[in-house]
Amino acid sequence: MMPKRFDMVIRGGVCVLPWGQAEADIGVLDGRIAAIGARDADTADEVVEAAGLHVLPGLIDPHVHLRDPGDARVESILTGTRAAVLGGIATVFDMPNTSPAVTDAATLAWKQGFVPANAHCDFGIYVGATRANTGELAWLERRHGVCGVKLFAGSSTGDLMIEDDEGIEAVMRHGVRRIAFHAEDEYRLQARRPMFRTGDPYARHMDWRDEECAFLGTRRIVALAHRTGRPAHIVHVSTAEELDFLAGHRDIATAEMLVNHLTQIGPDCYAELGGYAVMNPPIRDRRHYEAAWAAVRDGRVDTIGSDHAPHSRAAKERPWPDTAAGLTGVQTSVPVMLDHVNAGRLSLGRMVDLMAAGPARVYGAVAKGRIAVGFDADFSLVDLRRTRTIENDWIATPAGWTPFAGMRVTGWPAATIVRGRVVMRDDEVLGAPAGRLVTFH
């Protein structure tokens, strides 16, 4: 057999394939995986030496808020995707609660046109559900690059919140693709708010937004999903009760878990970090932390995301509950999860399932999430043995902080490859932004 010529060969790494781990050289041609098991005689324009590294399919963060359009002093598509590739992420799905929000054809078209010259990685766009655009959602969800509809049933502002069953059901009846839900119950949130005072300890956040607030919201949405036949993806599931409940509704509902809910534990995190631990839904106590890991291990969790949601330091340091809710995370999710792998909490294969194959399956991303011939040549190369401390000065997001500052981890992203282009190697971002919109089923 004649030697083959590739654009790129990744040599010497241990590849995490859908059928297991194997040392194999990978050939890349025209941005796609062309061979698994390239031969020594094969040649390439570029050789990526991966000896000592594990070659993962390009990891996907399906839950980021890059604030664009918005305030570039906090975050933007340019800086947020730079942070992503530095952290070993090859694709992000960006939430719609920007300023202005992505809820109409004109704003969506602007974002579709803006991404290619400004994103360092590939990109999916959420469209936000509102009462005003409900009738257009079936059309909007089919536009190029749209990963899905996001509905905020609680914890949002302006017209991006639809808290009542009638409004949520109307959205579910306009379109067919899986809807991503923020499932806190807004009525319970507002009823409980007078129980707390400005200046109360930050740990009161998990008391106000209690387990029943999340569980009630999830129960309501799953009931509506069954009524309408519309599949639901419950993002940032945070309670043991939700995880047990969702296990009985796998025919209609999938679940996302956040890195924070697998790593930080209340009330200790609030004592340590103050406002820098405040997010929605909140980081909870050890019972829910243990339940989260049990669900990861037994398959009840479908995807892991960061819910990367930067705010300025001033906004995070306001007294509770006026502190801005949301944490940075797109750059730190891979090293933190690799540390969990090294600690034995999950296997590397399960991490790939949750952070590559899972998001691709749940959202219908075409040719993403697996190392397989014909798929996009997206790879996250990681060094499982490298030990390093996460520090604020490594963070590319302009907000300039991470709730994991000072955390010593074992496992680190060594390179990020997007469609056959090395976009990050050894903490250096390479080349101009050249991200593309992901195609979805």
| Catalytic residue annotation | 307
Interatomic CA distance for residues 314 and 295, integer angstroms: 36
Cis peptide before 96 (omega within 30 of 0): no
How many beta carbons lie within 10 A of that of residue 176, not counting itself?
Answer: 12
Interatomic CA distance for residues 114 and 122, integer angstroms: 12
Amino acid identity of residue 61, one-letter, is D
Interatomic CA distance for residues 375 and 412, integer angstroms: 24
Q: Is 45 exposed, middle or buried (0-12, 13-18, 19+ CB in 10 A)?
A: exposed
Selection from 305, 90, 79, 300 nearest residue 182 by Cα: 305
Interatomic CA distance for residues 367 and 186, integer angstroms: 37
**CA distances to 65, 284, 311, 429 from 155, in Å:** 15, 17, 16, 35
For residue 56, the cross-strand partners are 380
Selection from 381, 395, 387 nearest residue 352 by Cα: 381
